[in-house]
Amino acid sequence: DGGITQSPKYLFRKEGQNVTLSCEQNLNHDAMYWYRQDPGQGLRLIYYSQIVNDFQKGDIAEGYSVSREKKESFPLTVTSAQKNPTAFYLCASSFGLAGVATQYFGPGTRLLVL
Amino acid sequence: GQQLNQSPQSMFIQEGEDVSMNCTSSSIFNTWLWYKQDPGEGPVLLIALYKAGELTSNGRLTAQFGITRKDSFLNISASIPSDVGIYFCAGQGRNYGQNFVFGPGTRLSVLP
């Protein structure tokens, strides 16, 4: 099956702890994205990567970090500097040039703070 | 960053009714995408639009890319209970490079 997988589905973080959310895709897409979703709001872009070994900050990158060592993988670390991490995190990937692109989402990871 | 405007914010309809919702922006977009999201799940792509004036259908769903390139519309015909969920629009335009911006969603409830 082609698609995007995220793990875990639920994640609990203690105060001062860093946690890492996994995102893997086997769609052979070049671009990958991380979004944060809060209740009643649209998706906000955290980080994105257009190619391997390169990534850019989105609108709300503070307190988060990413890496893109492989085309298939784009893990997101929520650091202790992120003071309000409770949210639903969505990973996405896309193909195509601007103007003909399509973006697909993974099933999401819900992060809760203990 | 900018977000799109979606209306209505929520709607309650009777099963069998048709539904219309729209998405607007102050910027011109080259691509419009429509998604449906069920609770606790990731958004699922419904329809992609790439050309001003384009009208595309996917079963009972029809979406249109507005002529002004600043809006898009989604219609659902003969709604059924499984249509319940949140519908998001997303736009991609020159102002945002290859990234998409998202609307806040329209929450649809279908009454039996």
pLDDT tens for each residue of B21-71: 999 999 899 999 999 999 899 999 999 999 999 999 999 999 999 999 999
3-state secondary structure string across chain B: CCCCEEECCEEEEECCCCEEEEEECCCCCCEEEEEEECCCCCCEEEEEECCCCCEEEECCEEEEECCCCCEEEEEECCCCHHHCEEEEEEEECHHHCCCEEECCCEEEEEEC
- Give the separation between CA A79 and CA A18, rounded to whole angstroms: 4
Residue B68 in contact with partner chain A when CB distance is under 8 A: no
Say if residues A110 and A21 touch (Cβ distance below 8 Å).
Answer: no
Neighbours of B67 (CB within 10 A): 9
State whether A103 and B97 contact (CB < 8 Å). Answer: no
**Each residue's pLDDT tens digit, A92-113:** 999 866 666 789 999 999 999 8
Q: Is the pLDDT of residue A7 over 60?
A: yes
Among residues B86, B92, B62, B96, the alpha carbon closest in space to that of A42 is found at: B86
Residues from chain B contacting residue A6 (CB–CB below 8 Å): 42
Strands A10-13 and A109-113: parallel
Determine the distance in angstroms separating the CA of A18 from the nearest CA of chain B, rounded to an integer: 23
Q: How far is CA A49 from CA A12, A56, A68, B13, B44, in A?
A: 26, 6, 7, 40, 21
Radius of gyration of chain A (CA): 13
Query: What is the C-alpha separation between A40 and A51, in angstroms, rounded?
Result: 32
Region for residue A11 given its phi and psi (left: phi exceeds 0; alpha: psi -120 to 50; beta: otherwise): beta
**Considering only A39-43, A104-108, B69-73, B88-92, which range has the smallest mean pLDDT?**
A39-43
| Interface contact flag, A105 B102, Cβ < 8 Å | no
Which amino acid is it at B22? N
Say if B39 is an interface residue toward chain A (CB within 8 Å): no
Q: What pLDDT, on a 0 to 100 scale, did the predictor assign at position B93?
A: 81
